């Protein structure tokens, strides 16, 4: 079965715009790293990223005002047991805190979406290991991308690696198609589902892979702000994300950072 009608195949012009947006999103993560340290608030991190995206990149922070209720900030900051969609605020980072910073920028009408785990000071052993395994899950998912492959291959690879390391995979959130819209078809599950085998990848498809991996059980709850997702058992969660293009013979990571050079050698 080929692509469903609502999955868009990007034109060469659109792909070039997505490359630019992806590069800008990656640059925000590079920029913010030195500011992630004990004593900083997540609001300060948001302000720094917001100013950089608007003033330096002449781009738009996609999360700001997105959704219902409208997301109130320009980035997502998910600390320790927060799975995703953490809203920046007056929380002060403490030594050893793990934080996912999720960046989506809009440039010339196209989106670049990526996230990375950071630590405030020296990480805990448990936090560092969970982050490493989650990043490996992302990379293993990316390695499944090629024309003719099934989307189920991504979920299978991620789930297998997480479970082999005694972690669980969050099922309520997934990766997604992306382009001129923040979220497009298809949904990219981070666990295996037979339904994901019904769609084949084709050159020109662009989507995110963004596994959320929990130290404890996979179950979550949404806080009263209607955005912040946390682990029910309050154990740690980690997430890494890239925007991926299906090429003629494989994949291109549109949000790859220079620090990730040689990433395939570590799997």
Whether 267 is covered by a domain: the verdict is no
**Tell me, what CATH number does 231's domain have?**
3.90.230.10
For residue range 115-167, list pLDDT tens digits in order: 999 999 999 999 999 999 999 999 999 999 999 999 999 999 999 999 999 99
pLDDT-derived band at 24 (thresholds 50, 70, 90) equals: very high
In a domain, 86, yes or no: yes
4, part of any domain: no
Confidence at residue 3, expressed as pLDDT on a 0 to 100 scale: 47
Range of the domain at 89: 12-256
As a whole number of angstroms, the distance between CA 21 and CA 58 comes to 11
The number of domains in the chain is: 1
Is it the case that residue 97 has pLDDT exceeding 90? yes
Residue 210 belongs to a domain? yes
Is the pLDDT at 4 greater than 80? The verdict is no
Cβ-contact 152, 176 below 8 angstroms = no
Residue 6 lies in a domain: no
pLDDT confidence of residue 265? 85
Give domain status of residue 77, yes or no: yes
Instruction: Report the predicted TM-score, pTM, of the whole model to 2 decimal places.
Output: 0.96
CA–CA distance, 231 with 155 (Å, rounded to integer) = 20
168, 146, 173: which is closest to 158 by C-alpha? 168
């Amino acid at each position: 079965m080929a692509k469903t009608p609502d999955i868009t195949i990007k034109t060469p012009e659109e792909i070039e715009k997505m490359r630019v947006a992806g590069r800008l999103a990656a640059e925000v993560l590079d920029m913010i790293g030195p500011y992630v340290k004990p004593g900083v608030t997540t609001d300060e991190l948001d302000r720094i990223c917001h100013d950089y995206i608007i003033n330096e990149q002449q781009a738009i922070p996609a999360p700001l005002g997105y959704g219902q209720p409208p997301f109130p900030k320009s980035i997502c900051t998910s600390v320790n047991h927060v799975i995703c969609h953490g809203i920046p605020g007056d929380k002060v980072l403490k030594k050893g805190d793990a934080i996912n910073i999720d960046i989506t920028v809009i440039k010339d009408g196209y989106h670049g979406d990526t996230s990375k785990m950071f630590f405030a000071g020296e990480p805990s052993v448990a936090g560092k290991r969970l982050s490493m395994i989650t990043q490996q899950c992302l990379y293993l998912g990316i390695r499944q991308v090629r024309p003719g492959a099934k989307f189920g291959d991504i979920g299978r690879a991620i789930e297998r690696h997480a479970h082999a390391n005694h972690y669980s995979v969050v099922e309520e959130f997934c990766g997604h198609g992306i382009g001129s819209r923040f979220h497009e078809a298809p949904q990219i599950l981070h666990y295996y589902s037979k339904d994901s085998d019904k769609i084949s990848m084709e050159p020109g498809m662009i989507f995110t892979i963004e596994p959320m991996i929990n130290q404890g059980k996979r179950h979550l709850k949404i806080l009263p702000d209607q955005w912040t997702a946390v682990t029910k058992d309050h154990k740690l969660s980690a997430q890494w994300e890239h925007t991926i293009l299906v090429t003629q013979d494989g994949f291109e990571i549109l949000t790859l950072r220079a620090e990730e050079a040689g990433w395939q050698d570590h799997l």
